[in-house]
Amino acid sequence: MRTTHPHPTNAVEPPIAGTAEARRVSPNAGWWRVIGTVLGIMLLLVAYYWVHKPLDLSLVLRLGGLLLDLAVNIALFVAGGALGRALLASLNWAVVSRGERIAFEALAGLGVISTGALLAGMAGLFRGVFLWLIVAVAFLIAMRRGGGSWLVDARAFTRALRPIDRWARLWGIVACALLAMALARALAPPFAWDALNYHLVGPARYLSEGRIVPAPDNFYLGFPQLLELLFGVAMSAFGRDTVAAPLHFGFGVLGLILVAGLVRRHTDVRAGWLAVALPLSATSFWLLFGWPYVDLAVFAYGAAVLVAAVNWREHRETGWLVVAGVALGFGAGTKYTAGLLAIGLAAMIVVEARSRALRPLLLAGGVALVTFAPWMVRGALLYGNPVYPFLFGGPGWNAERAAAFSATGQSFLATGDYLALIFLPIAATIFGVEKGVYFSFTSGPWLLLAPLLLIPAWPWLPARSRHLAINCALIGLPLLIVWMVMAALTAIGAQTRLMAMALPVAVAAGALGLHGLEFLPRKPVYLGFVVRAVFAGTLLLAALDMTRLTWREGAFAYALNIIDRSSFEDNNLGTRALAMRALADLPPDSEVVFLWEPRAYGCPETVVCRGDLLLDTWARAYSSTGSSTRAVSALREQGADYLLVWETGLEFLLAEAQAQDANAAFDVSGPEGLVPIWSDGLGSYTLYAFDAGSLP
């Protein structure tokens, strides 16, 4: 039964569209109503937000600065990718995925741009206008040769990243969340130790001088600096140092793309996403994405060598051997230790080619040497040593400093830690702690040991996955032996981060091991599911810890302009930030020598700061003079106007054997010949002037 709803007889209903009554309404009446409504809403919003102001000018400027940093990085990566596509156009790209191709091309192009910046710097043209002219010319040449398709492929690649099942979706969501947090940290002001020691010191000094100059006061600047020069290019655009860490972040993403693409081609999409999540589960590896370091570039070039070598062994195309040599040369141009990849690459070539290995060995080695040659020339011209400071020494270097740098007295052989040496990856996993002794790297439970899962999974592993695992072993096992030798002879050689070039091998083999457990019989226990669940739990725990760390550092608060740069630096650098601000009150062009404080970056532009890189500045002055007063006088004669003393660093060294007698001779309560003119009030930093009347 239909129910009717009564309504007032005098109600006026709107005309129905298309009826004669609706056609009698003037068309202009509708437009006036629309315009009036829009203007009314706009006036309401303007009036409301004029009072409430959710976006003030400072927040707009902060967000604009972050977007500017991202834009500069995007411009560099696009130019590098386009140039790489033009240079590597003849390669057979049908054997790799789209993601691997764009990563290869970007790494090659960025390496060439850095080499161009090196040549410009040696010619006295290390200034923004010339550096970006190099980038622009490289980009225009690449565009004329078909490089524009790189950006098209890059956009298509990002749109195609769709995990296909719940596990792959979990790996992908957590990995993307971790990368997003890491990017927030990367866009914040730099504060990481080595960044303030030398990674940013070099680019800032070169931009200030307008050329690449020798730096005997900071031997780190004599190392190859492929990525640091790219930092300089990026910083020269708008004078922002927050642009550097996102560049390092980008190299890390390229490395992940290469490893994930390689694993996916030999397994499936789930294992590919696992190869992305696996390294990010390691706290120290994830931390690198937020710092302006160079280790992720070493990781990326190491991944390029691995993928190119596997492609050569599978398809025997000479072009891939050339690419492996180029990646090896650029990797060594980023960090000396990346050159050790040559040992793993040579092992694979010898096993594959056997009696005919000489020609491919010479080809790959020759290409790598030519690619690395500009850095050798630079070392010879500026320091008199093509591999400064190693082998042949050079300015500011001697046997004592070499021993202090390598810490040979604390090696595993010297201390008798033979078990740690024999079971090195296990020891590095269990005892490795960020900023800790020896390994100085929190690798998580999976990064270094997941490859061992290949042992139980091997009988059920598909043939194509087995082939990749064998390739990983051919390159990885020689590098493991190299790591053991380095750890046996030097303490610094045990650091996991120094083996960043080998981590792509560990990631690929670990992803294969975790993936291979899925093929084991599901009874009596479905081991594949159990291990996946355990890995997921540890990954989520790591993500929680990383979220807390990001929040505690203040990266989100800085991005949203809740805190300013000074507050962010105070939060992460403590009283050091106060000390750097105190130096701004010194007379212009004053030279400040740091004692027991190596981090010179952040020094005001009006003064010159000399960091204590090996914490031996005082010990060398004391040993050469024999007394504390004469040591103070010697530092003054060497050009110092002021001394900034980090008492915390001194206290640390007093507990060590290194130069203990010399360090104990420095009397922090009242050193003779020095007058304190500033202190943080906490007994951490004190700034001294020289007392000319009491000096000999």
The pLDDT tens digits for 497-543 are: 999 999 999 999 999 999 999 999 988 899 999 999 999 999 999 99
Examine the pLDDT at 18 and tell me if it is beyond 80: no
State the Cα–Cα distance between residues 445 and 312, nearest whole angstrom: 32
Q: What are the tokens at 217?
A: 């006061």
**Span 151-203, pLDDT tens digits:** 899 988 887 777 678 899 999 999 999 999 999 999 999 999 999 999 999 99
In angstroms, rounded to a whole number, what is the distance separating the alpha carbons of residues 12 and 17? 15
Does 12 score more than 70 pLDDT? Answer: no
Name which of 337, 254, 344 is nearest 300 in CA terms: 254
Residue 378 has a pLDDT of: 98
Amino acid at 572: N
Q: Indicate the range of 33-37, 239-243, 285-289, 672-676 predicted with least confidence.
A: 33-37
Run of H or E including 595: strand 591-595
Residue 310 clears pLDDT 80, i.e. is over it: yes
Query: What value does the mean pLDDT take over residues 611-619?
Result: 93
Percent of all residues in the chain with a pLDDT value above 90, rounded to a whole number: 78
pLDDT surpasses 90 at 55: no
Mean residue pLDDT across the chain: 92
Q: Which run of H or E residues covers position 643?
A: strand 642-646
For the cut 80, the answer to whether the pLDDT of residue 588 exceeds it is yes
Q: Please report, for the chain, the start and end positions of each structural domain, with discontinuous segments joined by +.
A: 63-389+397-553, 575-694
Q: Are the C-beta atoms of 616 and 217 separated by less than 8 Å? A: no
Residue 241 has pLDDT above 60, yes or no: yes
397: left (phi over 0), alpha (psi -120 to 50) or beta: beta
The residue to which tokens 């792959």 are assigned: 168
Class of 575-694 per CATH?
A: alpha beta
C-alpha 627/C-alpha 111 separation (Å) is 49
Please say if the pLDDT value at position 15 is more than 70: no
Give the residue-averaged pLDDT of 111-129.
97
Residue type, 166: R
| Extended strands (E) in 349-454 | none
The residue ranking higher by pLDDT, 561 or 17, is 561
Task: Summarize the chain as % helix, strand, coil (round to 5).
Answer: 70, 5, 25
pLDDT number for residue 1 = 45
Residue 271 in this model has a pLDDT that exceeds 90 = yes
Dihedral, CA of residue 666, residue 668, residue 669 and residue 674, to nearest 10: 80
Residue type, 368: A
Q: pLDDT value at position 28?
A: 58
Cβ-in-10-Å burial (0-12, 13-18, 19+) of 685 comes to buried
* CA–CA dist 528, 21 (Å, integer): 72
pTM assigned to the model = 0.93
The model's pLDDT over 395-436, given as tens digits with 9 standing for 90+, comes to 989 888 888 888 888 889 988 999 999 999 999 999 999 988
The Cα–Cα gap between 402 and 393 comes to 9
Q: Is the peptide bond before 214 cis (omega within 30 degrees of 0)?
A: no
